Amino acid sequence: MFSQSFFKKFETCFIAGLMLTALLLMLGNGGNIPWFPPVLVFSLVGISLIFAIMFPFIWQYKENRQTIDSTKIYGFLYTFIRYCIAFSIASFGWKKIFGLQFVVPVEIANKPMNRQSGEWLTWFYFGYSDAFGFIIAFIQIGGAYLLLFRKTLLLGLVILFAFMLNLTLINIFYQMNAGALLQSVLLTIGILFLILLDYDRLMAFFLKTTSNLPTLSSTNLLTKNILRVAVIIVSLLFTLYLKTLIK
C-alpha cells in the first residue's frame, strides 16, 4: 500500500514539475526576453524539478503523521497541471494569430527548396496559408480553454492529445529545434497523464459503447469479418494496381 501510494504521489509531483518546466521554457521564448535570460530559465527549471522529486517524500511523511490533507494536495496539483498545459498551449495559439510563428525570413525563403532545413520547410509550408494557421491557433486556444472546466476536461484532453502527438511527430521527423521538441514532448506527456486518470471512462466510451447507426443485422459474424478485412486488402490491391500504371 505504501509503495502504490508513494508512487502516485511521486508521479503526480513529477508531472507537475515537467509541466512547470514546459511553461518556463515557453516563457523564456528561446532566450529572446532580456529580463528572463536562459540562465534564469534553466535555474528555475532545475529548482522546480528538484522540488518535484523531494516533495513526495515530505508529503508521504506528513501524511503518515496525519498532519496533511492529501485530497487537497492532489486537487491543487491536478489543477496546476491543467492550468500549466492550458497556458502553454493557448500561448502558442496566440503567437500564431499575432504573427510570431510560421514566419520565415526573406533570406531563408529565397533559398532553393533542396537547400532548406526540415524546420524552415515546415514553417514555410504551415505559414503559406493564413487561414490554416488561424484554424490551428483556434484549436489550440479552444482546446486549452476546455481544460479549465471539469465538465469539458476530457473532451479538451482528447482533442489536444491528437493535436500534440501529431505536432511532436512533426518536430521529431522534420528536425525542429530542440526547444520546440522538448516542449511538445513534455506537454504531450502531461496531457496523456491526465487522460489516463480517466482511463475507465474512456474505455467505456470508445470500446464498450455500441453505436446507434443501423447495421447489416442479418449478416453473420464471419461474413462481417470477411467484409472488414476485404475493405483493407482490396484498397491495398487497388493502390498496387495504380502503382503499376506509373511508368
The more confident residue out of 67 and 212 is 67
DSSP string, 32-51: T-TTS-HHHHHHHHHHHHHH
Q: How many CA atoms lie within 13 A of 222 on its CB side?
A: 0
Identify the pLDDT of residue 3: 44
Name the residue with cell 490551428.
136
Task: Please give the Cα distance from 229 to 236 (Å, whole number).
Answer: 11
Average pLDDT over residues 63-89: 94
Query: Is residue 29 classed exposed, middle or buried when 0-12, 13-18 and 19+ CB atoms within 10 A define those classes?
Result: middle
Average pLDDT, the chain: 91
pLDDT at 247 over 70: no
The share of the chain scoring above pLDDT 70, in percent, equals 97
For 204-220, write each residue's pLDDT tens digit: 888 877 777 777 766 78
Identify the pLDDT of residue 115: 84
For 123-158, write each residue's pLDDT tens digit: 989 999 999 999 999 999 999 999 999 999 999 999
Identify the pLDDT of residue 204: 85
C-alpha cell at 226: 470477411
Identify the pLDDT of residue 2: 41
